[in-house]
Amino acid sequence: NLLCFRKNVAPKVHKGVSTRYGQQVELKEQNQNLVAAKEELQKNLSEKQQRVEELELQLDELQKENVEFQKNLQDCHRLLVSAKIDPVLGERVGDAARQKEDERKEVMSVSTDLLRELKAFGDIASQQRTQLQASHRLLSPL
């Protein structure tokens, strides 16, 4: 009986050691996977940060261009109105200018719509920048 008892005990002790070793190996693999995932996330974060910087520069440039476009449009509009020039034909008109007021309003409406679209684009770019910055904040503790 004593021999049988020892045979039963020995494998259990050996099995406990191999289980512990297996757990250590598994933990080591998990740690390596986590390190690799962390490196990938840091790489992605770095790329996103670079993209945010690029988008911010583009947004700044577009906002400057938008201000210039608006100023130029207002200057052109003032010149056209003061000189009573038809914006479509480019000719001086007297009574015909009053008759074509609807056409002029349409041209101004299109210009206004374009300016609104530029502003909307700037707003969207700002929102994307904010979202990317929020993503950056979420990923940065990694």
* pLDDT tens per residue, range 35-48: 999 999 999 999 99
Angle ∠(38,135,65) on CA atoms, nearest 5: 130
Q: Is 4 helix (H, G, I), strand (E, B) or coil?
A: helix
Burial label for 128, CB within 10 Å (0-12, 13-18, 19+), is middle
Q: Do residues 78 and 103 share a domain?
A: no
Instruction: Give the residue numbers spanning the domain of 52.
Output: 20-83
Q: Do residues 101 and 75 share a domain?
A: no
Number of folded domains in the chain?
2
The string of pLDDT tens digits covering residues 80-123 is: 878 877 677 776 666 665 667 888 888 889 999 999 999 999 99
What mean pLDDT is reported for the chain?
A: 82
Q: How far is CA 17 from CA 10, 12, 23, 39, in A?
A: 11, 9, 10, 33
| Host H or E run for residue 90 | none
pLDDT of residue 57: 94
Give the whole-angstrom CA distance, residue 35 versus residue 91.
Answer: 71
Angle ∠(42,140,133) on CA atoms, nearest 5: 105
Tell me whether residue 6 is in a domain. Answer: no
